[in-house]
Structure 1
Amino acid sequence: MLTENREFDEIYGKYKNLVLKAAYTYSGNYDVAEDITQSTFLQLYIYYHDMNHSNIKSWLYTTAKNSALNYRKRARREILEEMTAEESVIQDTVESAEDEFLQEIRDIDRSDLHERIFEALMNKNRRWYDAITLAYYMEIPQAKVAAEMGIRIEVLHSLLHRAKDWIKKEFGVEYDELNRL
C-alpha cells in the first residue's frame, strides 16, 4: 500500500501532465481529459499494490489513452445518432449537413488510421514507438527524450528516422488516399 500517500503524491506530481495530455489528445475535450486523469489516478491508488511498479508510467499513459478512446467511441455514436435525427427534420440544409458529415467521417477515418499506425508501430518496435510518442506526440524535447530513454541524441535521431521510414512504407499509400479525399 502507499506509505502515507507520499509515494502516490510523487507519482502524481511526476506524471499528471503526461496523463492529462494523453487524455486530452485522444479525447479532444479538456473537461473530459481532466475527468479521465482523475479516474486514472484513482485506479492507480486503488490497484497500486497489485501492479508492477517498474511500468507505472506506461500503465498510466495506456489507461488514460484507452479511457479517452472509449469516450470518443461513445461520443461518436451519439453524434451519428443525433445527426440522423436532425437530417430527417431539416431538409433544406442537406448540402451543408452532408459536407459537415463527410468531414466528420474523414476526421474519424484519419483518427482511426493514426491509432492503427501507433498500434502497428508498437507491435513492430517498442523503442520506435516510445521515441515517436515522446518526441512528436507528447512534444517532449528530443534531448530530454534521449536522456529518458538512456540513449544518445544521435541514436534517437536514427530511431526516429527509421520509424518514420517504416510508417511511410507501411501506411503511406493509405494516408495519401485518405488526405486526397
Structure 2
Amino acid sequence: MNNENTALYAFKKYGNTVLRAAFAFSGSYAEAEDIVQDVFLSLHTNPQNFNSDEHLKAWLLRAAINKCKNFRRSFRFSRTCSIDDLEHSEVICEMDTESRELRQQIAALPKKYAEVIFLHYYEGYSIKEIASMLNKNENTVGSLLRRGREKLKAELEEEGDLCQVKIIKTL
C-alpha cells in the first residue's frame, strides 16, 4: 500500500472503529467526529509505514485516544454538554437500553479502567495488545482490567441493577 492511499484505505476500513473509540473517550459525538477527522488528516499529511493492518489499527486508536486526552484537558471540554444531553445521537440510538446503560456506567469509571475495558471488551484487543498501545506493562493492564470489572460490578450491585450485574459476570 502506498502512502498516498493509506489514509483513504484506513478510513474506509477503520473509520467506524476510530469513531466509536473517540466517542467512548470524549463523551461527545460531535467532538468524536472532529477527533476522527484530525486523526485521518494527520495520517494523510504525515504518512507512516505500517507492518500490518493491525499495526495501522493500533496506531489509529492510539492517535484517537491521545487526541481525546488533549480534548479532555482543553477549555472547550468544560464548556460542552454531557453525554446525557446526547440521548438522541446516532451512536447512542444504535444501542439497546441495557447496552447504553452499561456503556454509560463504564464511561463513569475512572479513565484508566474505562480505557482498558473499552479496548478489551468493545474492540476485542488482548491484554498484550492493550499494553503495547498504552505503553504499559501487561500485568498493569491485567490489574486495571480486573479492578475495573470489580469496580463496575460493585457499582451496579449498589444500584441494584441485577441485569447489568449478570452481563458483568460474563465479562
Give the TM-score taking structure 2 as reference length: 0.49
Q: Which has the higher contact order (CA 8 A, sep 6+)?
A: 2
Rg comparison, structure with higher value = 1
Looking at secondary structure, tell me which structure has more helix per residue. 1
Give the TM-score taking structure 1 as reference length: 0.47
